[in-house]
Amino acid sequence: MSINLKLSSWGIALLLLVGGCNNRANQVEEGSDKVSGRLNLVKERGSLVCGVNGELPGFSFVDENGEYSGMDVDLCRAVASAMFDDPSQVEFRDLGSQERFVAVQSGEVDLLSRNTTWTLGRDTSVGMEFAPTTFYDGQGILTTKASKIEKLEDLSGRSVCILSGTTNEQNLADRMRKLNLDYSPVVFEDTDLLYAAYEQDRCEAATSDRSQLTARRAVMGKPEDHQVLNTVLSKEPLGPLTANGDSEWFDVVKWTTYAMIQAEELGITSENVDSFAETEDPQIRRFLGLEGKLGEDMGLPNDFARRIIKNVGNYGEIYKRNIGDPFNLDRGLNALWTDGGLLYSPPFR
Amino acid sequence: MQQSDLAKIPWWRNRRVVEIVVQAFVLAIAISIIAWMGNNLSNNLQRLNLNFGFDFLDRAASFAIADPPIEYRPTDPYFRALLVGLLNSLRVMFFGIIIAATLGITVGIGRLSDNWLVRKLASLYVEILRNTPLLLQLFFWYFGVFLRLPKIENPLIVGDRFFLTNRGLDIPWFASNFRTDLSWLAIVGCLLLATAAWTKRNQAIERGQNPRFWLGILVLGVLGAILLFCFGIDWIVPQLQEQSITGGLNLSPEFATLLFGLGIYTSAFIAEVVRAGIQSVSKGQWEAARALGLNSTSIMQMVIFPQALRVMIPPLTSEFLNLIKNSSLAIAIGYSDIYAIGNTIFNNTGKPIEVILLLMMVYLIINLIVSLIMNRFNALVQLRER
C-alpha cells in the first residue's frame, strides 16, 4: 500500500474514534454505579454463587450422597436461607488456592467461603473484605511416624509438601528462617495431588492448617501411620470474605455469621426455634425478627435469623455435625466466649 | 488511465477511496475494542480500590524455593524469585528441546525404515503419545514412574555413581575450583582441535592427499578430551547417609518428569514432521542415489536429509514453541518454573493483571528469540537460486 493510502486510513480512523469517544465515556459512568449493588444482583438472580474448596472434608467437600457439605458450605447455605428461605439456592464453585481471590475480585462468585486465613495483606493489597472468623485454626505439620520427626527443628534438610499461594508456605519459610535451617519445599497447586504425593513418600512432611491435616489424615489409606504434630506454627483465623467496595453486601454476610454465633449464645437451635415464637424476652424477639426492623435495615427480611437457624442451625450444631462428630476435634478456641473460647457476637439491636 | 476517465468515476465506486474507507473503519473498530477493554479494566480496578503498578516486585517474597539454580533466600524480593523461576523454566526448555529433537528425528526416520518391527514400533510410539493429553502423560511419569522409584533408605545405584530414588536422581557433579575450570578449558581446546583436524582431513581427501596425519591429530584430540573429562575434572560422587544423599547434583523428580514427559510428548509430533519432510523429497532422488551405489545411511545423510530439512524447519519451529509454552504445566506437578512462581506471587499480592502481563511478555520474548534463530537456520538451508 502506498504511503498516501496508509496515512489516509489512519486519519479517517482517528476521526471516527474521536467522534465515537464522547458517547462511550458517558455510558461507562452510569455503569459503575450499578455494579456495586451485589445484594440486589443476588436477589434478582434468586440464588447465591459461593466459592468453596470442594476437596476439604469438614469444610467443603462432596459427601457420599453427592451433596456439598461442610462448615464453609453451611455458611453459604445460611446466607441463602437468610435471603431466600431456601438453603439449596446456592451454586457452588470449586476454587483452588490460586484463583480464589481473582474469582472474588472479578465478581464471578458472590462470596468466598474457602477456609481462607484473614491477613492484613489480603485485606488491603489483595482487596478483600473479611467477615468474622468462623474457625480459629493454626498451622500444623503432618508426618509419617516412620520419619521420626517430632518437632519443627527435625524438618531440617527434609522435604515438605506445601500448597502454593497459601499463608502456610510463607509461615514455614519464616519459622525456618528464624531457626536458620534449610528445608526442601515441594510446592503443589492442587490439594488432592499434594496429599497423593505425600502418601507416595515424595516428601516426609506436609504442612497446612491443623483442621485440614486432621481431615485429610482421616481419609488416607493408613491413618495410623501418620500423625499431626503438636507444634502450632501460626494463627490461622479462617472465615468467609467478599470483595472490597460493597458495604451493603458485606454487612449481610457479616451479620449472617454473627447470627449463627448469637443463636448458640441465646440457646436457640434448629429444633427449638419454633418454640420461641411466643417468647416475651425482648432480646430474643428482636433477634428472631418478631419486633423491630433489624433485617429491613440491611435489605433482608426481618426474620432472617430465624430462617438461618431453622434451615441450617446455630454455630454449635454446624460445628458438631461437620467437625465435632466426624473428627472428634473439641471446640477449643472455637467455643463461645462464655465457655472460654473466642466466638463473640456484637449485640443484635 | 487518462485524466478525463478518473474525473468521471464517482467516489463510491472509486476503488482506491473505498479501500481507504474500509481500512479506516476496521482500524477504528479494532482500536475501540482495545480502548473499551482498557477502560473496563481501569474502572473495575478503581471500584475495588486496587491500583495498577509494578512496584510490588520489590517486596520480600517470604516463600522458599527448592534447589534454586542461583542464590535465593525468602527475604529476597519477588523480582529475584521470578528470576529463579525463569532459570528453572529455561533449563527445562533447553534440555527438553534437545531431547525432543533427537528422539523425534530418530523415530521419524524409524517410521520409514525397511525393517518391519522398527517401523511398527515407531508408529506405536507416535500414535500413543500424540493421542493422549499431555497433562495425563505428566501425571503418569510423575506418579507412575518417578515416585515409584525406591525410597531413600535403599536407593537404586547404577555404576556406583548414579543414585535413583523417589526424591530424584543424584549424579556426580564437579566442584567449582581452579582445577575444574582449567580442565574444562583444556577439554574445549581439545574438541576445537579435533574439529579442525576433521575439516582438514576431509579437505585432504578431496585433494587426493594422505589424510592419516589429520586423522591422528583427531584421535589425539578426542582422547585428550576424554581423559581430561574423567580424571582432570574434580568430580564429587554422591554419598548415601542414613536419610539423605549428600554431594553431587540432585535432579528432582518434578524436573525429571517435566523434562522427559514434555520431551517425549513433543518428540512424537516432531517425528511426524520429520517423516513428512523426508517423504516430500521426490522418489527420483532415492533412485539416483541408489544408482550411484550409495548405501542406505549415506543416502539419508548426504542426499535426502539435507533436502528434507528445507521443508521441515517451519513446522519444527512450531513444535519447539509448543514445547516452550507447554513447560508452564510445571505447576501441575510441583516444579517451580516461572509460571508457578508467578502464580504464587499474584495470589499473595492480589495483582493478577500485572503478573500475567509479565509472564506473557517473558514467554513472548523467549518464543520470538527461538523463532528468530530457527528462521535464520531456515534461510541457511533454502535453495540458493541464481
In a shared domain, residues A153 and A207: yes
Give the model confidence (pLDDT) of A184-197 as tens digits: 899 988 888 899 99
The better pLDDT of the pair A26, B368 is held by B368
Q: Return the exposure string of A205-232: e unless at least 16 CB atoms fall within 10 Å of the residue's CB, then b.
A: bbbbbbbbbbbbbeeeeeeeebbbbebe
In a shared domain, residues A264 and A125: yes
| pLDDT (mean) for B204-214 | 81
Give the model confidence (pLDDT) of A257-277 as tens digits: 999 999 999 999 999 988 988
Give the nearest partner residue to A187 out of B36, B48, B340, using CB atoms: B340
d(CA A210, CA B273): 52
Query: Among A175-189, A229-243, B21-35, B173-187, which is the least confidently predicted range?
Result: B173-187
> Looking at the predicted structure, is the pLDDT value of residue B287 above 90?
yes
Res A341: pLDDT: 92
> Looking at the predicted structure, is the pLDDT value of residue A19 above 80?
no
**Close Cβ partners of A217 (under 8 Å, ≥ 6 residues apart):** A142, A223, A226, A228
For residue B244, which of B318, B170, B311, B176 has the smallest C-alpha distance?
B170
Interface contact B24-A8, CB threshold 8 A: yes
The better pLDDT of the pair B250, A73 is held by A73
In a shared domain, residues A258 and A165: no
Amino acid at B173: W
Residues of chain A contacting residue B46, judged by C-beta atoms under 8 Å apart: 32
CA distance A339 to chain B (A): 35
In-domain check, residue A26 = no
Helix (H, G, I), strand (E, B) or coil at B77: strand
| pLDDT (mean) for B249-276 | 93
Q: How confident is the model at residue B7 (pLDDT cuts 50, 70, 90)?
A: low
Res A255: pLDDT: 94
The better pLDDT of the pair B245, B125 is held by B125
Q: Which among A208, A235, A262 is the end of a domain? A: A235
In a shared domain, residues A229 and A249: no
| pLDDT (mean) for B354-364 | 93
The complex's ipTM works out to 0.73
Interface contact A127-B50, CB threshold 8 A: yes
| pLDDT (mean) for B32-50 | 84
Query: Among B208-212, B213-217, B283-287, B359-363, which is the least confidently predicted range?
Result: B208-212
Residues of chain A contacting residue B153, judged by C-beta atoms under 8 Å apart: none
Interface test with A, best of B21, B62, B76 (most A CBs within 10 A): B62
Chain A residue whose CA is closest to B35: A21
Q: What CATH number does residue A215 fall under?
A: 3.40.190.10
Res B95: pLDDT: 94
B143 in contact with chain A, both atoms CB, cutoff 8 A: yes
Query: Among A176-180, A229-233, B60-64, which is the least confidently predicted range?
Result: B60-64
Q: How confident is the model at residue A29 (pLDDT cuts 50, 70, 90)?
A: very low
Here the cell at position B225 is: 578430551
Here the cell at position A39 is: 445484594
> Looking at the predicted structure, is the pLDDT value of residue B292 above 70?
yes
d(CA A287, CA A314): 13
**Close Cβ partners of A115 (under 8 Å, ≥ 6 residues apart):** A53, A56, A59, A60, A72, A135, A137, A209, A211, A212, A238
Give the nearest partner residue to A13 out of B31, B332, B350, using CB atoms: B31
Interface contact B24-A12, CB threshold 8 A: yes
Q: Return the exposure string of B182-199: e unless at least 16 CB atoms fall within 10 Å of the residue's CB, then b.
A: ebeebbeebeebbeebbe
Query: Among B156-160, B262-266, B364-368, which is the least confidently predicted range?
Result: B156-160
Amino acid at B356: I
Residues of chain B contacting residue A186, judged by C-beta atoms under 8 Å apart: 66, 252, 254, 334
| pLDDT (mean) for A10-15 | 68
For residues A162 and A175, is the Cβ–Cβ distance under 8 A?
Answer: no
Residues of chain B contacting residue A122, judged by C-beta atoms under 8 Å apart: 350
Residues of chain B contacting residue A101, judged by C-beta atoms under 8 Å apart: 347, 350
Residues of chain A contacting residue B145, judged by C-beta atoms under 8 Å apart: none
Q: At what angle do helices B305-326 and B253-280 cross, to 10 degrees?
A: 150
Q: How confident is the model at residue A31 (pLDDT cuts 50, 70, 90)?
A: very low
CA distance B21 to chain A (A): 6
> Looking at the predicted structure, is the pLDDT value of residue B2 above 70?
no
d(CA A341, CA A334): 6
Res A26: pLDDT: 42
In-domain check, residue A11 = no
Whole-number mean pLDDT of chain A?
Answer: 87
In a shared domain, residues A190 and A274: no
CB pairs under 8 A between A and B: 159
Give the model confidence (pLDDT) of A104-116 as tens digits: 988 899 999 999 9
> Looking at the predicted structure, is the pLDDT value of residue B309 above 50?
yes
In-domain check, residue A89 = yes
> Looking at the predicted structure, is the pLDDT value of residue B338 above 90?
yes
In a shared domain, residues A265 and A285: yes
Query: How many C-beta neighbours within 10 Å does residue A294 have?
Result: 20
Give the model confidence (pLDDT) of B47-103 as tens digits: 776 777 888 888 888 888 888 888 888 888 999 999 999 999 999 999 999 999 999
> Looking at the predicted structure, is the pLDDT value of residue A213 above 70?
yes
In a shared domain, residues A88 and A171: no
Interface contact B48-A185, CB threshold 8 A: no
CA distance A29 to chain B (A): 9
Give the nearest partner residue to B31 out of A17, A32, A35, using CB atoms: A17
> Looking at the predicted structure, is the pLDDT value of residue A16 above 90?
no
Chain A residue whose CA is closest to B34: A17
> Looking at the predicted structure, is the pLDDT value of residue A13 above 80?
no
Res A192: pLDDT: 87
Res A33: pLDDT: 44
B49 in contact with chain A, both atoms CB, cutoff 8 A: yes
Interface test with B, best of A126, A168, A233 (most B CBs within 10 A): A126
Res A2: pLDDT: 59
Res B368: pLDDT: 95
> Looking at the predicted structure, is the pLDDT value of residue B3 above 70?
no
In-domain check, residue A332 = yes
Interface contact B147-A183, CB threshold 8 A: no
> Looking at the predicted structure, is the pLDDT value of residue A280 above 60?
yes
d(CA A276, CA B292): 105
In-domain check, residue A2 = no
> Looking at the predicted structure, is the pLDDT value of residue B364 above 80?
yes
For residues A122 and A213, is the Cβ–Cβ distance under 8 A?
Answer: no
Res A12: pLDDT: 66
The better pLDDT of the pair A304, B204 is held by A304
Q: Which among A235, A268, A287 is the end of a domain? A: A235
B189 in contact with chain A, both atoms CB, cutoff 8 A: no
For residues A242 and A104, is the Cβ–Cβ distance under 8 A?
Answer: yes
In-domain check, residue A347 = no
For residues B201 and B218, is the Cβ–Cβ distance under 8 A?
Answer: yes
Q: Which among A212, A235, A258 is the end of a domain? A: A235
Angle (nearest 5°) at CA A284 between A282 and A286:
65
Chain A residue whose CA is closest to B33: A17
In a shared domain, residues A97 and A147: no
Whole-number mean pLDDT of chain B?
Answer: 88
In a shared domain, residues A230 and A282: no
Interface contact A174-B332, CB threshold 8 A: no
- Domain locations along chain B: 3-47, 78-138+254-381
In a shared domain, residues A189 and A249: no
Residues of chain A contacting residue B74, judged by C-beta atoms under 8 Å apart: 170, 173-174, 177
Res A87: pLDDT: 92
- Domain span holding position A161: 138-235
| pLDDT (mean) for B266-280 | 95
For residues B150 and B166, is the Cβ–Cβ distance under 8 A?
Answer: yes
B78-138+254-381: CATH number: 1.10.3720.10
In a shared domain, residues A44 and A128: yes
How many independent structural domains does chain A possess?
2
- Which of residues 270 through 299 in chain B touch A, CB cutoff 8 A? none
